[in-house]
Structure formats: C-alpha cells, structure tokens
Chain A
Amino acid sequence: MRIGVVTFPGSLDDGDAARAVRLAGGETVSLWHGDADLHGVDAVVLPGGFSYGDYLRCGAIARFAPVMQPLVGAARAGLPVLGICNGFQILCESHLLPGALIRNDHRTFLCRDQRLRVDSVATAWTSAYETGTEIVVPLKNGEGGYVADERTLDELEGEGRVVVRYLGGNPNGSHRDIAGITNARGNVVGLMPHPEHAVDTLTGPTTDGLGMFESVLGSRVAP
C-alpha cells in the first residue's frame, strides 16, 4: 500500500510521518504542494508544521495549494486522509472536517506528552485500536483549540465522530476535550496530537501512535 505524505512550504513533520508509515509496513510517496495529481496513492497524510508560515490563518493558504484540489475530491470519494496538527487545520479549512482550530486559550505554545482516549475505532485510521484505549503521544501547538457550534458538536458526539479526546486536563480550551474528529464516512481523520512522533521508544514517549498507520495499512499483528 502506497501512502502519500504531502510537503507544503513550512511543513515540519513530513519526514516523521513518512518514517511512521515505513515502520508500520507501508510504502511512502512524497507529494509536493505544487503537484496537480496524487500519483495514484492509496492514502494521504497531511503532516504537521507551519504551511505557508501560518499566514492569514493556519491552513488557510494550504487549502488552495494545487495538490489539495485532487485531494479534496478523492477524500470525498473515500480516500483515507489523516491530518495531523497543521494537517488537521488544513482539513478544517478545506471543509472536509467541520469546525476550526483557534489559538490556545492560555495563549502559549504547548509541547508535552499527552494522554488521550480513543473514542472511535470506526475510522480508517483507528481500526487497530480498541474503543476506550488510552494512548500517550506528543502534543505541540499554539493554535490547537478545537471550536464548533453546539449543533455541530452534538452531531459529532451523536454520530460517534469524536475520534480522540484529551485526558488529564484540557490542554488548549478545545470544546468538549476534543483532540480529533472524523467525517461521516470515517475515511478522513484530523487530530492535533502527533501519533507519528510516538512510533518507537528511542524518539517517542511510547509506540502508541503506530496504530494509526497500522490501521490504514491493515498491518497490525495481533499481540
């Protein structure tokens, strides 16, 4: 299975995302923001970073990058897409996911190992977990506050589309402790924490993030 990792000007975590894909048993394809097609990949990761310098709003300019035009169409047709941090912001700006990310309520950039609960395993990116599993992965952002109107939040909760939730205190003012969500079909997932930084014990706090990549690859070996 070939997984594309998009690099925008200002992307930071494309290298780690590609490494996570390889560690999970997948083949990676580098996609450039200026590409007008997806080179036949089977899934796409939009990595973390500061695309276009976070100018205007985080993800607002990346949304209109050439690679996003085929990506939005393919995502609507069912292509698995994972947006991490800045990638989540881009998915919201693209209206592939509802809501928006705003500046952390405490106004400071936060970088720490974050405890999360996997609330939905009915997505392309979380099927390898069990519902309610607690995981620890790094969280690092200045604009990670998830906001949406009450109706949208009720809809997300009612349809089981909250994928991961913060545990041990809300780190950024996100409504209802939401750390990540999915679309109605479950193929598009966005989250602020960084599973790609928790794929081996040498560089990450845990290997809990590997499951996201193993989910899409169907490569998880039963313990």
Chain B
Amino acid sequence: MPRVVVDVMPKTEILDPQGKAVHGALHRLGFDRVVSVRQGKRFEIELEGDLTPEVVAGIERAAGSLLANPVIEEFTIHVEG
C-alpha cells in the first residue's frame, strides 16, 4: 500500500514552547550538549490504488490547507515504500 509522509515543523521564526520544554527536560536528564529542540508533527497517509502525480498533488493541497497552517508552519512531503 503506497504511503505518503507529511512532516510539519513550526517556522524557525515562530516560538516553539513545546520544543523549549523538551529541551529543558533533556538538560535535566544530563544531555547538556543539546543546543536546541524543535517539535513538529509527522503524518503517515496510506492510500489505495496507484500513487499518481495527481494523488500526490492532492495530498500536497491537503497538507497546505489542513495538516499544516502556512502562517506558522512549513511542511515537506515524501513517498515511502
């Protein structure tokens, strides 16, 4: 079954409080060489049928309208399997 993966990350200029919290926790655990952490989301989308360019373009539209908010996030798409 073809799978399209969409990775969503907060834009670099947008504050990422969750990443900061994880960063702080890593320091408390002794990972003191960690300089920064940013947290994003990964969507694994399984599809039926052939993975045509049209299908991938459709996922790209879905990523730009629903999965990511382009005001504060950016996304990348790749095909797996």
Contact = CB atoms under 8 A, between A and B. Distances in A.
Interface of A: 56-57, 60-61, 64, 92-93, 98-100, 102-107, 145, 147-148, 173
B15 A92 contact: no
Interface string B57-72: 0000000001101011
B23 to A, nearest CB: 12
Nearest to B21: A107
A152 to B, nearest CB: 9
Nearest to B41: A56
B34 interface: no
B69 A103 contact: no
B2 interface: no
Contacts of A56: 66-67
A64 B66 contact: yes
Given A92-B71, A148-B71, A60 B15 contact: no
Interface in B11-66: 14-15, 17-18, 20-21, 66
B42 to A, nearest CB: 13
A105 B21 contact: no
Contact of B17 (A93, A104, A148): A104
Contact of A102 (B14, B20, B66, B67): B14
A60 B17 contact: no
Most B CB contacts (10 A, CB to CB) among A56, A99, A102, A173 go to: A102
B20 A60 contact: no
Contacts of B18: 103, 107
Ranked nearest first, the 3 interchain pairs of A and B with the lowest CB-CB distance are: A100-B71, A103-B17, A100-B72
Contact of B69 (A57, A106, A107, A173): A57
A176 to B, nearest CB: 14
A5 B14 CA distance: 32
A107 B17 CA distance: 6
Contact of B66 (A60, A106, A107): A60
Contact of B20 (A64, A107, A147, A148): A107
A103 B17 CA distance: 7
B21 A60 contact: no
Nearest to A107: B17
A102 B21 contact: no
27 contacts: A57-B69, A60-B66, A60-B69, A61-B66, A64-B66, A93-B69, A98-B71, A99-B71, A100-B69, A100-B71, A100-B72, A102-B14, A102-B15, A102-B17, A102-B72, A103-B18, A104-B17, A105-B15, A105-B17, A106-B17, A107-B20, A107-B21, A145-B15, A147-B15, A147-B72, A148-B71, A173-B15
